């Protein structure tokens, strides 16, 4: 295949390793500076120029987009998507995972453990917010901090308020998060490629430090994650629209709590710690998937007028409970069930013989008008619009139950 790595740092470890891995597997590979693209838009022909020359055909890209160039970088990736070039991270996935709030907002509707978190603006909303996440101690976080900078532990309500107000007075957006004390000074980085975790490490802070960032002296060790942790990490990546992702989790008695998902996870730390060839795993995955570029459902579905993807919820007491999908009459109404969500289980392409249970959620494709009538009036009023076209947080490919 012909692969492009989008990176501003041709000599950085991750870029070098990806390049090496591609070359050693006989692929053609180039490192392209993300900021040297020109995006050309013309009717029916999305196109790209690189260093003002027409870009030749590529089979796949691996974007490594730093936080400082998110806008332009995601625009370039979006252009490759319009040109049906396979990418390891969807442009929307990069944007969605870029700040901690947006990432947690998207994850929060799914059955994925996250630390209780709130986001407030007004001074008078701070105290109630601290109480809602369980009271002090709490963690105060800048939305776009990295390497532990902007992650502060507040032991008392007074210090929490003072920290939040100080940060807000400098126009910084901050999150208030429950301090997960069981995991003090430790976290897990799971490295996801496709639909599996290819490597994982536990980072442990030294001394009194509660932040387990390697830049703050934390020590990393290889770990083999159990099924729950692996599944959580893989689902997070899928929900975000990332086929390569670094998922950071805290360990608790109730299982993993996801702090964030990184769209350009570094390779150096994890390869050194685990001695695994992660660059190779990424390149092999891309080579196997290159014929299946990401499809943005929302863009494509609006083409067939009146049709869309919506989620139908089966509440307790629904007449559909105990019926099979076939008996429910959905197929007759020309509604296809794409995925069934049952608790933490995701069942892609459920069989018509499958019986519906209370609280099932069905991701369906069909005529919007018909599907709208499937949602009870009460439900529609409670949370309108309950029936809606799901956007980018539709998993792109599913884990088996």
- For ligand ATP, the binding residues (CB under 6 A) are 115, 139, 141, 145-149, 151, 177-180, 183, 187, 210-213, 248, 250, 259-260
Least distance (Å) between residue 138 CB and ligand ATP? 8
The pairing of beta strand 86-87 with beta strand 60-63: parallel
Nearest to ligand ATP of 63, 265 (CB atom): 265
Nearest to ligand ATP of 20, 144 (CB atom): 144
Burial label, 266 (beta-carbon count in 10 A; 0-12, 13-18, 19+) = middle
- In whole angstroms, how far apart are CA 377 and each of 309, 334, 384? 19, 21, 10
Least distance (Å) between residue 183 CB and ligand ATP? 5
- In whole angstroms, how far apart are CA 117 and each of 20, 160, 329? 41, 14, 40
Least distance (Å) between residue 137 CB and ligand ATP? 9
Distance (Å, rounded) from C-alpha 199 to C-alpha 190?
6
Nearest to ligand ATP of 74, 328 (CB atom): 74
CB 234, CB 222: distance < 8 Å:
no
Least distance (Å) between residue 301 CB and ligand ATP? 33
Nearest to ligand ATP of 4, 237 (CB atom): 237
Least distance (Å) between residue 251 CB and ligand ATP? 10
Least distance (Å) between residue 134 CB and ligand ATP? 11
What totals of helices (H) and strands (E) does the chain contain, helices first? 12, 20
Nearest to ligand ATP of 3, 153 (CB atom): 153
Measured from the Cβ of residue 383, the count of other Cβ atoms closer than 10 Å reads 10
Nearest to ligand ATP of 183, 328 (CB atom): 183
Least distance (Å) between residue 98 CB and ligand ATP? 10
Distance (Å, rounded) from C-alpha 85 to C-alpha 82?
8
Least distance (Å) between residue 207 CB and ligand ATP? 13
Q: Which two tokens stand for residue 13?
A: 């470890």
- Give the burial string for 100-118 (b: 16+ CB within 10 Å, else e): bbebbebbeebebbbbebb
Least distance (Å) between residue 190 CB and ligand ATP? 13
User: Which residues of 110-160 form beta strands (DSSP E)?
Assistant: 117-119, 138-142, 151-154
Least distance (Å) between residue 250 CB and ligand ATP? 6
CB 225, CB 188: distance < 8 Å:
yes
Nearest to ligand ATP of 115, 241 (CB atom): 115
Q: What is the DSSP letter of 124?
A: G
Burial label, 45 (beta-carbon count in 10 A; 0-12, 13-18, 19+) = exposed
∠ CA 390-394-400, nearest 5°, is 140
Cα 82 to the center of its chain, rounded Å? 21
Nearest to ligand ATP of 254, 377 (CB atom): 254
Distance (Å, rounded) from C-alpha 141 to C-alpha 150?
6
Nearest to ligand ATP of 63, 246 (CB atom): 246
Nearest to ligand ATP of 31, 267 (CB atom): 267
Q: What is the DSSP letter of 69?
A: G
């Amino acid at each position: 295949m012909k692969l492009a790595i989008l990176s501003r740092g041709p000599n950085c470890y991750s870029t070098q390793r990806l390049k090496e891995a591609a070359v050693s597997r006989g692929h053609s590979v180039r490192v392209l500076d993300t900021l040297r693209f020109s995006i050309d838009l013309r009717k029916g022909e999305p196109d790209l120029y690189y260093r003002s020359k027409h870009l030749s055909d590529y089979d796949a890209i691996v974007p490594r987009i730093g936080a400082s160039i998110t806008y332009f970088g995601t625009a370039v990736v979006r252009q490759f998507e319009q040109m049906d070039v396979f990418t390891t991270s969807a442009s929307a996935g990069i944007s969605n995972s870029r700040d901690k709030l947006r990432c947690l907002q998207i994850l929060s509707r799914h059955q994925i453990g996250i630390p209780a978190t709130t986001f407030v603006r007004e001074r008078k909303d701070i105290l109630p917010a601290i109480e809602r996440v369980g009271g002090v101690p709490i963690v105060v976080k800048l939305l776009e901090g990295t390497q532990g900078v902007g992650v502060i532990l507040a032991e008392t309500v007074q210090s929490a308020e003072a920290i939040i107000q100080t940060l807000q007075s400098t126009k910084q957006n901050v999150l208030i998060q429950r301090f997960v004390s069981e995991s003090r000074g430790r976290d897990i980085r799971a490295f996801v490629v496709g639909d599996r975790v290819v490597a994982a490490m536990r980072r442990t802070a030294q001394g009194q430090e509660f932040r387990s960032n390697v830049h703050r002296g934390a020590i990393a060790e290889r770990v083999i994650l159990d099924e729950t942790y692996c599944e959580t990490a893989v689902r997070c990546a899928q929900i975000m629209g990332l086929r390569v992702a670094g998922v950071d989790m805290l360990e608790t008695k109730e299982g993993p709590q996801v702090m964030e998902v990184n769209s350009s996870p570094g390779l150096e730390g994890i390869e050194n710690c685990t001695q695994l060839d992660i660059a190779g795993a990424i390149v092999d995955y891309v080579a196997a998937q290159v014929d299946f570029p990401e499809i943005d459902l929302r863009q494509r579905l609006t083409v067939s007028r009146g049709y869309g993807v919506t989620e139908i919820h089966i509440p307790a007491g629904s007449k559909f409970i105990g019926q099979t999908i076939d008996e429910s009459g959905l197929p007759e109404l020309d509604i296809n069930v794409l995925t069934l969500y049952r608790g933490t289980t995701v069942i892609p392409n459920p069989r018509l013989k499958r019986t519906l249970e209370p609280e099932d959620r069905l991701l369906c494709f069909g005529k919007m008008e018909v599907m709208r009538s499937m949602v009870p009036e009460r439900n529609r009023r409670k949370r309108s619009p309950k029936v809606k076209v799901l956007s980018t947080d539709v998993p792109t490919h599913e884990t088996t139950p």
